[in-house]
Amino acid sequence: MSATQVSNEVTHELRAICGHENTRERPNGGVYVSPSLAEEVAAVLSFANEHGLSVGPAGGSTERSAGELRTDIVLHLNQLTQVEHYDCGDLTVGVGAGTTIAQLNEMVGADKLMFAGDPPSPGRCTVGGLLATANHGPLRHGYGAVRDYCIGVRFVTGNGRRAKGGGRVVKNVAGYDLMKLLIGSYGTLAVITSASFKLFPAPRQTRTFLAEFKTAKEALVFRDQVVRSPLSPMCLELVSPLARKLMRPETADDAWVICVRASGSDVVLARYRKELGAAITNELGSDNETRMWRAIENFPDSAKLSGDDTPISEISRRIQITVPPERVLPIIEALNALWAGGEIRVAMTGRVAVGHVQAVVWNGNRNTPDVLNEVVEALRKSAGDDLAVRVDGMSNPWPLGPLSMASMRAVKRALDPNNVLRAREIF
């Protein structure tokens, strides 16, 4: 049987499961399917197991183009947009994995509530994608990571079993915490079909205070001052000079900026002004404030190289680095040294008070193919043991290799025994 014949049969079977209009062949072999029910997701995975086919789940493709997935079947979850439960009095919501972050926020925003996940490109990024990548935005500082407010998941395991973990209530320790396993597993264990979340009251009034510094070191001294103060801002974000220049080309490119976003009454905001003191160079409210945070959230998605309009996201790698907060400075210095020593360009943002730095790196002359290895090596040398690195859009998102591969394999075998999900990428 030739590959084409297999593909024809496969396409035929998948059409029977998901419907003709939701199934199409990929130009370079393989099939896209877009199921509209969790049962169909399970049927696709069972079929893939029976026929030894690999499957790659895809959401809004904000991290990685679905076209890059090398699996036999690409499983688009964009049709799973059902609302499973929503009671604003309970501050909980459950939605299908294909719901975008923007749709979710629009729904709960009408009741003055807020979903605390603020990944780049919320109009495209889906709930399933956010969970699979454990991605976050500036709200990570004040509201925690998605592992902290996801209270339940429904999913289909690699071998086609429909199951769930958690539930719909904010406090629940019944059974294994499967949310934790699936969040950040990059679709290698199961396909998330829906999830429930804890919501937060939307702040009634916010202000953003900006402080500019000549060096990263001074900026981090200010970070420590804020962290040790009684203040508890919603966001505390560092923006490097290059990142700022790319977000707002009209600005000077020599300042490291700490952006502190606070919510509360006039009296509370006055206290922020007093505590933050003379370091504050600018204060933003209303539209200016919203625009600035959108630019940070979306960086580098909307940024372009000055001169030739090349989107940064097309030529760069986005590296998520997490270290103990005290080790942020050595990380930034190591990245800066790379820049100073060669053609590598590094633009940084980050929730630095929780030890996070997002480094967007690319090669200045764009001749050498990939700068990733060089960057990861520099990070390893400067950070020591306590270093977590994720690289979006890679077939293996963990370039340092996990601490406990044997346990990861055991979990993988339990949920995806035939290695169907993202086969041959990580395991």
Query: Which residues in the 67-106 window bind another protein by CB under 8 A?
Result: 85, 87, 89-92
Q: Is 77 exposed, middle or buried (0-12, 13-18, 19+ CB in 10 A)?
A: buried
Min dist. Cβ of residue 379 to another protein (A): 12
Binding to another protein by residue 414, rule CB under 8 A? yes
Which region among 5-13, 20-28, 226-234, 335-343 touches another protein (by CB under 8 A)? 226-234
What is the C-alpha separation between 118 and 294, in angstroms, rounded? 9
Q: Which is nearer to another protein, 129 or 355 (CB)?
A: 355
- Is residue 380 near another protein by the rule CB under 8 A? no
User: Which single residue is written with the structure tokens 């009251």?
Assistant: 201
Distance from C-alpha of 267 to C-alpha of 271, rounded to nearest angstrom: 6
Cis-peptide into 300, omega within 30 deg: yes
Nearest CB to another protein, comparing residues 243 and 321: 321
Within 34-63, the residues that bind another protein by CB under 8 A are none
Stretch of 26-34, 62-70, 158-166, 242-250 lying at the interface with another protein (CB under 8 A):
158-166
27 preceded by cis ω (within 30°)?
A: no
Comparing CA positions, the residue from 281, 156, 284 lying closest to residue 208 is 284
Question: Using an 8 Å Cβ cutoff, are 289 and 229 in contact?
Answer: no
Q: Does 381 bind another protein (CB under 8 A)?
A: no
Q: Measured between alpha carbons, how far is 108 from 104 in angstroms, rounded to an integer?
A: 6
Nearer to another protein, 186 or 256 (CB): 186
Q: Does 178 bind another protein (CB under 8 A)?
A: yes
What is the Cα–Cα distance from 380 to 331, expressed in whole angstroms? 9
Phi, psi of 361 (to 5 degrees): -120, 145
The residue among 27 and 230 lying less far from another protein, judged by its C-beta, is 230
Query: Of residues 313-372, which lie at the interface with another protein (CB under 8 A)?
Result: 320, 322-326, 354-356
Please tell me whether residue 264 binds another protein under the rule CB under 8 A.
Answer: yes
Residue from 74, 334, 357, 389 binding another protein (CB under 8 A): 389
The answer to whether the CB of 126 falls within 8 A of the CB of 81 is no
- Give the C-alpha separation, 281 to 129, whole Å: 37
| Helices and strands: H and E segment counts in the chain | 15, 19
* Neighbouring C-beta atoms of residue 21, cutoff 10 Å: 8
Least separation in angstroms between residue 290's CB and another protein is 20
Instruction: Identify the residue among 147, 248, 294, 380 touching another protein (CB under 8 A).
Output: 147
Instruction: Tell whether residue 185 is a contact of another protein (CB under 8 A).
Output: yes
Query: Could you give the dihedral angle defined by the CA atoms of residues 280, 283, 289 and 291, in that order, rounded to the nearest 10 degrees?
Result: -70
* 208 near another protein (CB under 8 A): no
Q: Which stretch binds another protein (CB under 8 A): 31-39, 65-73, 142-150, 286-294?
A: 142-150
45-53, 121-129, 161-169, 214-222 -> range binding another protein (CB under 8 A): 161-169
Number of residues that bind another protein (CB under 8 A): 82
| Distance, CA of 211 to CA of 282 (rounded, Å) | 7
* Least distance (Å) between residue 42 CB and another protein: 10
| Comparison of 190 and 239: residue with beta carbon closer to another protein | 190
